[in-house]
Structure 1
Amino acid sequence: MKAVQFRDHGDRSVIEYGDFPDASPDRDEVLVDVKAGALNHLDVWTRKGMPGVDLDMPHVPGSDAAGTVVEVGEDVTRFEPGDRVAVSAGVYCGECEYCRHGEYSMCVNYHIIGEHVRGVHSERAAVPEDNLVEVPTGVDWETAAAAPLVFQTAWRMLLTRGELEAGESVLVLGASGGVGHAAVQIADYAGAEVYATASSEEKLGYAEAVGADHVIDYEAEDFAARVRELTDKRGVDMVVDHVGEATYPDSLKSLAKGGRVVTCGATTGPNPGAGLNRIFWNQLSVVGSTMATPGEVDDVLELVWDGTFEPRIREVLPMSETARAHELLESREGFGKVVVVPDSEYESR
């Protein structure tokens, strides 16, 4: 089969699309004929190399994909050939204290398909049964591939970890990205007043279209100062910050007293100054969040499948152009998700 892969960490030039050993399912796995995959910023970090993460090379990246079931392992009970499925990438042990209490995304052995183990950007992929969700007939493959990781991440961030309530105010940073555009929609759905940042008029227009009440061009103005102005110096109740070092100090400045920053990542770096003086004086909270539990995944994807939430697709490319897909992410081109399709599928469209 053909697969996206890299043999060494490095820049986009290490990405290849070529022959790879055929996938076959273990007892608890399902073999999926991949119709579409989607990229996330973790694909960029995995390619570059992440401290403490040792990968078997060559590595196939990709945490998001959707397709049809081809074959099932002998212990699989939930799926059969012909079923439509999408990947939910978080893998948990089911046995540690956190799993026993239903907090699966806090599992001490938690890892992510595509980031820590072989991913799913290939013509076929063997995926654990527990990491697949059903995709209803009528949902297109691009939507099914693009939705799971970013919408489950944003759902848990805002509603479970952030405890967002109707009537509160939320600032979403990087609203044009995958998690960002999902967070805008979820905050609007929850009844919040939504502020969103992006870097162009086009992106700001898209953010408004998916639910933002106020938009801020962070390249043209100081977003923290603008938030204070728009809120009559009060600040917002919550900031969704997955950017990290470049934005964290201003995220704290944007908060009302008693507010909280919720973070799921740090694309510009993980080690900003703590800002402890502002945190204790304004009684702020900094809350971490990773992926979601299976129940949270089901809840948010039901709202994707019925059209309440819409994964925006900025571009669809053949998998042989995955390097270009990485470039779109790294250069922050466009709004929403980048989807890649096996070349054999792409050519038949």
Structure 2
Amino acid sequence: MAAPFSLPTTHRALVLDKIGEPLRVETRPTPQVSPGTAVAKILVAGLLSYSREIYNGTRKYNLPTPCVPGNAAIGRIVAVGADATRFNPGDLVLIDIFIRGRDNPSIGALSGVHDGHTEASKRMMHSEWRDSTYAEYAKMPLENCFPLNEKRLLGDPSDGGLGYTVEDLLYMLPQIVPFGGLRAIGLDVCDRVIISPATGAFGSAAVQVALSMGSSVIAMGRNKETLEAVRGFFASQFGEDRIQAVPITNDVQQEVESLAKFGPADVFFDISPPQAAGSTHVKSAILSLRHSGRVCLMGGQREDVGIPLVNVMRNDLTIKGKWMYERGDVARVIQMVESGVLKLGKDAGSRTVGRFPLENWKEAFDLAAEHAGPGERVVFTP
């Protein structure tokens, strides 16, 4: 393979020796391609607002150790396995960390974040895929690399481009997650969807995605100031009649009465964090659905929630759980972005609040924890 796309002998990677212990940067052999894989140079990798909690053990996520942690990234292909038919060195790609079993796609895990929920997923992640994207180079399955139209996405608007930065492209991750849930529940044009909570990174992205899919939105949230900011931002783009806001008050009757002002909803989409345990909004939203309404539960609450079963039965409601998304959903979001239907950057309220080298991992995790709001991101630039 000719320069400038040749692989160096060694590279730098952020290593987690054991959950709860400090991370460290290590010089190690650069990963080599094998059939079914690609090696990419990491240009920018995202952080979750709760990355610190994952690696210090607070979140109780399982990971193989030692490992290279990671998250979704934008990279440039450097080498591909001999069986590759699509990619060439130099191609710009979105690297998806949701790895599925090739012989059983129902098995999944999150590279560098969580080794899944089954023995099969753990076997997969503790062997071939233990290392993720917080490194100068990463090896990933070919099917987890999604080609990006670099000229369209990064090009100058005067030349038909959208003028995004490489960092802007990372915002597709919080868009892809709710898109997977909304697609799974059959969100349709002109549906009215309750989204809760709509004040975090994934919830606010869900608002934008649903509006871009042609639906109207009732956004719920506990922080009234942030909730109104989300409503106002997207109302300025999609129209005041397309998005409404209802605060979460922990009073079911009050919430139901507030939701009723906008008429029965078709869909309820929940993406609650663990901290939302005990919140009333799930019950309130379900009680506000029309006959044959649909519910998608993507939240991370650890405790059981109250479901009004009589209402579910009498109104023929459908309740569906969804973890992450399907592979085709990633491609669809990329298509929506490249077509201009789904915005990134300032038009999505998305911004980078901090960028760090691998050595400054602690500062990066701390800043990410402080900026969990709509559109905010912290990145590694290996």
Q: Confirm or deny a common fold (TM above 0.5).
A: yes
Summarize deviations over 1:213-242 as a string: whole Å, max 9, x none.
112444x78587345324338542222211
One-letter amino acid matched to 1:26: V
| SS of residue matched to 1:21 | strand
How far 1:58 sits from its partner (Å)? 2.3
Count of matched residue pairs: 325
1:43/1:61 contact within 8 Å kept: no
1:174/1:197 contact within 8 Å kept: yes
Matches for 1:96-111 after TM superposition, within 5 Å: 96=104, 107-111=105-109
Classify 1:233/1:292 alpha carbon distance in 2 versus 1 (closer, same or farther; 3 Å). closer
| SS of residue matched to 1:157 | helix
1:176/1:334 contact within 8 Å kept: yes
Task: Specify the alignment match of 1:335 in structure 2.
Answer: 374
Residue from 87, 99, 111 that aligns with 1:79 = 87
Residue from 218, 222, 243 that aligns with 1:213 = 243
**Structure-2 separation of matches of 1:269 and 1:140:** 37
Classify 1:292/1:221 alpha carbon distance in 2 versus 1 (closer, same or farther; 3 Å). closer
Q: Which moved more, 1:126-135 or 1:181-190?
A: 181-190
How far 1:130 sits from its partner (Å)? 1.0
Classify 1:42/1:298 alpha carbon distance in 2 versus 1 (closer, same or farther; 3 Å). farther
Q: TM-score normalised to the size of structure 1?
A: 0.80
Q: TM-score normalised to the size of structure 2?
A: 0.74
**Structure-2 separation of matches of 1:194 and 1:274:** 22
Seq. identity, %: 22
One-letter amino acid matched to 1:92: R
Kindly name which structure, 1 or 2, has the bigger radius of gyration based on alpha carbons.
2
Residues 1:276 and 2:274 aligned together: no
Residues 1:251 and 2:302 aligned together: no
Residue from 167, 176, 200 that aligns with 1:152 = 176
Residue from 281, 291, 296 that aligns with 2:329 = 296
How far 1:176 sits from its partner (Å)? 3.5
Residues 1:32 and 2:40 aligned together: yes
**Structure-2 separation of matches of 1:184 and 1:223:** 22
Matches for 1:34-73 after TM superposition, within 5 Å: 34-40=42-48, 43=51, 46-47=54-55, 48=57, 54-73=62-81
**Structure-1 separation of matches of 2:361 and 2:299:** 22
**Structure-1 separation of matches of 2:16 and 2:320:** 34
**Structure-2 separation of matches of 1:309 and 1:61:** 29
Residues 1:140 and 2:158 aligned together: no
**Structure-1 separation of matches of 2:263 and 2:227:** 26
**Structure-1 separation of matches of 2:46 and 2:253:** 32
Residues 1:95 and 2:84 aligned together: no
| SS of residue matched to 1:238 | strand
| SS of residue matched to 1:290 | coil
Cα RMSD (Å):
3.0
One-letter amino acid matched to 1:263: L
